Amino acid sequence: MDSDIHFGELEQNAPQRQLRPDQNRHYAVVPCGMVRDEDLPIFVDIDVLRDIESHALSNTKVELGGVLLGGQYEDQSGQPFVVITDSLRAEHYQASKGSFKFTHDTWSDITRKRDEFPPETGMVGWYHTHPGFGVFLSSMDMFICRNFFNKPQDVALVVDPCRGDHGWFQWHGEKKRQMRGYYLFTSRLRGDAMRRYAEQLQGTPAMTTEPSYAGAPGYAPVIHLNDQRSGWLGVGVLATLVVQLCLTMILAVRLLSPAPAAPADEKMASLQEQIDKLAQRNVEEVELRAQRAMLDRVVGQLGGGGAGVVESLETARAENRQLQLALRGVAALEQESQQNEEALATERQRRDELDETLTELKQERQRQLDEIAELKKRINQFTSAAGGGEKTDKTDDAAADNQGDGGGRQMSTWLIILIVVGLLLLLFGIGLWIASRGEKEKTPAPPRGDDEPTTPSGEMP
């Protein structure tokens, strides 16, 4: 369970006085299991329990869960009790074969659905499944109980759909205490159906044989560990005696009948051997059942009608198996925790590598900024030298300090203009020089002596 998930403010309203369902004529109430005086009385609507078991059977590959709705009250004598009238299935959850986690989306969805119920319908606990693990509370389950369902009357229901078992837990001080019994209730008009359902939960085939569960995933017969079948023991012993009597009569008829031929004798000898073995087996079964029945009667007389010693031994064996399954679940959780720690270590290493890369990028960026500053300084020096001496250099430095990159660009523009004007003047001077040389070449040379030209036809020169 993530430690950053919060279920909002927990309700701490004082229990109200109300008539218990077993004292209300409107309801039919049936106890299930061994209800003890020191346990918190829990009254569960039969339809709510059926819906939870149907939800548990819908997927036995991962854990499922939800919340229990109802009320927490006190009877006329001030004794607390809990009434569960509805439930909400958790959606958007995170689950695996050995864990179930509420998420923020799960709680938001439950809160929204709960607002559609009357204000007096509060949250009185939660439920989840242990498919094949048995009924117990793991360390993650205890975390949810301690932090979100820690009121004295908050309850937790654990359902094992693979074994058809379930158990109730009550918050007691700093730990949860498992209760051996609870109450089913419904309208008095459905009392017979509820009693049959209660008998199925306690003795006969369990919830998966109900018509409402036919077709649900995981449909299979279930064995309950706390069955009370002492009523059928006499019928089984009587049937065994009848079978043994029939075999004895067959044997007597065979012994009193005439001896058949040799092949028939061999067949009869083989048949007689099989009959003897079957009779011996039946005798051993009868003796064993008789011993069990006698032990049950003796322990029942000594303990005032308590449960049979055989059932107690079976219960002890079942609890041992549950503890073994719990240890396996704890081992699976430890393995998952180790994997999470390894993933966290990998993530930390990756974060350190990213930090180193970021530091290198920052150093590279600083180096580039230094190079840009050096280039700007060189450009300013070049501009100052081209623009006329120390005064211009100082002026450019002041302009660079005040205007930054904009001043540098302005000086570059003036420099380009000066260069263009100088080129134009140079071209103009070159043109004038070329033109003057052309005029000199066109001017005639002065006369020298006899070489003076003659004037045509007596004209004066």
CB neighbour list of residue 36: distance below 8 Å, 6 or more residues apart: 179, 180, 181
Q: Provide the pLDDT for residue 424.
A: 87
Interacting residues of 131 by C-beta distance below 8 A, sequence separation 6+: 56, 60, 61, 62, 63, 97, 160, 161, 162
Amino acid at 59: N
The CA-to-CA distance between both ends of the chain, in Å, stands at 131
Please tell me the distance from the alpha carbon of residue 170 to that of residue 168, in angstroms, as a whole number.
7
Q: Which residues of the chain have pLDDT under 70?
A: 1-14, 173-175, 202-237, 257-269, 271-272, 279, 282-283, 286-287, 290, 293-294, 296-314, 387-411, 439-461
Are 155 and 82 in contact by the 8 Å Cβ rule? The answer is yes
Closest C-alpha among 330, 341, 315 to residue 178: 315
Could you tell me the CA-to-CA distances from 390 to 364, 396, 399 in Å, in that order? 35, 10, 14
pLDDT value at residue 446: 57
CB atoms within 10 A of CB 321: 13
**Contact assessment for residue 402 and residue 373, using Cβ atoms and an 8 Å cutoff:** no
Which of 97, 36, 42, 52 lies closest to 72, judged by CA?
A: 42
Cβ 179 vs Cβ 31: under 8 Å: no
The SS3 assignment for 20 reads coil
* Calpha distance 426→443 (Å, rounded): 27
Q: What is the pTM of this model?
A: 0.44
DSSP letters of 249-290?
HHHHHHHHSPP--HHHHHHHHHHHHHHHHHHHHHHHHHHHHH
